[in-house]
Amino acid sequence: MHETITVNDMAHIAGYSERRFRQLFEEIIGIRPKQYYDYMRINIAEKLLRNTSLSIAQIAEQLGFSSQFHLTRMFLQKKGIQLSKIRK
C-alpha cells in the first residue's frame, strides 16, 4: 500500500476504461474507488497501530500518506477519533 495506485491503473488491470471501471465499481461496491482505497488505508493504519510498535509517522509512510499529519487528519475525518488515542 506504500505505492500510490490510480483509478486509471485499477481500470487498466481490470481491463476497462477508467469511466466504465468507475461506474462498475460504484455500482457493485457502493462507493467511489478513491473512497474505498482511502477506507482500506485507514483500516490498515488502525490495525498497524493496534498490533505493532510502529510510529504514526512510520505507518503513514508505509501506507503512502504524504505525512503523519495527512494520515492523522484523514483518520479523524473517517473514524471520528484521534489516531493517537487508538494506541492508548
pLDDT attached to residue 34? 87
What the chain holds in terms of domains, given with CATH numbers, is: 7-87 (1.10.10.60)
Q: What is the mean pLDDT of each run of 10 residues along the chain (88 residues)?
A: 79 96 96 91 94 94 91 93 81
Rounded to an integer, what distance in angstroms lies between the CA atom of residue 63 and that of residue 47? 12
Residue ranges with strand state E in 1-88 = none
CA 35-13-31 angle, to 5 degrees, is 20
* pTM summary value: 0.79
pLDDT attached to residue 85? 85
CB 19, CB 58: distance < 8 Å: no
